[in-house]
């Protein structure tokens, strides 16, 4: 199992990490697995901004049987806007070229994760909270429309963090059922 993460650096209290750096770290982890363990993950589980990494990392799904995405951020620039606000993004845009904030924003604006999603040929479960204001559920709806073998489960009243234990339990149950169906 591989769980791509979107780690963050803190600069002036802002957590920032360019997507290209996160993809590089993910590819390094895959290379390490193949070199030392002689294997690749059978399933990818990606959550939130880690979903952007899974969609952006070339070759991440090679040999993978299925993927579960929890509240995936497919429109990274929009997710940054909702999470950080306009003022923060203006600061990032004004940062000097090469500055991690400027790189993070430019990566977000340049990537076409929906386009990448069209090339996914494995079964994908998309789980999203209807009440998510960080990564709106519409991003999962669009992903579901462009990924040929996808299933979409929208959890009513659920926020981005699955704060309600009932919502968390529903997400876990859905993911386990999907994994059991496709990864044997």
* pLDDT per position as a tens digit, 116-158: 999 999 999 999 999 999 899 999 999 999 999 999 999 999 9
Whether pLDDT at 7 is above 70? no
Domains in the chain, CATH or no CATH each: 9-182 (3.40.50.1820)
Distance, in Å, from the CA atom of 25 to the CA atom of 5, rounded to the nearest integer, reads: 9
pLDDT of residue 35: 87
Helices 76-84 and 49-56, packing angle to 10 deg: 160
Distance, in Å, from the CA atom of 139 to the CA atom of 130, rounded to the nearest integer, reads: 11
* DSSP symbol at 8: -
Whether pLDDT at 2 is above 90? no
**Edge-to-edge strands of the sheet including 66-70?**
43-47, 66-70, 124-129, 150-155
Tens digits of residue pLDDT in 26-53: 888 888 888 887 777 788 999 998 899 9
**β-bridge partners, 124:** 67, 150
Q: Which residue has the higher pLDDT, 149 or 79?
A: 149
pLDDT of residue 13: 57
Question: Residue 57 is inside which H or E element, if any?
Answer: none
Whether pLDDT at 12 is above 90? no
pLDDT of residue 79: 86
């Amino acid at each position: 199992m591989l769980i791509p993460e979107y780690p963050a650096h803190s600069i002036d209290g802002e957590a920032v990490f360019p997507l290209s750096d996160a993809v590089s770290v993910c590819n390094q982890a895959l290379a390490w697995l193949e070199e030392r363990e002689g294997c690749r993950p059978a399933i990818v589980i990606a959550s939130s901004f880690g979903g952007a990494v899974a969609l952006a990392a070339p070759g991440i799904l090679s040999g993978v049987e299925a993927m579960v995405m929890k509240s995936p951020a497919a429109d990274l620039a929009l997710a940054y806007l909702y999470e950080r606000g306009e003022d923060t993004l203006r600061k990032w845009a004004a940062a000097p070229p090469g500055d991690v904030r400027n790189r993070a924003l430019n990566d977000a604006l340049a990537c076409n994760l929906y386009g990448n999603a069209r090339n996914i040929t494995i079964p994908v479960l998309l789980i999203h909270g209807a009440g998510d204001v960080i990564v709106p559920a519409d991003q999962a709806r669009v992903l579901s429309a462009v990924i040929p073998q996808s299933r979409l489960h929208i959890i009513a009243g659920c926020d981005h963090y699955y704060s309600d234990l009932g919502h968390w339990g529903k997400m876990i149950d859905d993911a386990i059922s999907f994994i059991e169906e496709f990864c044997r």
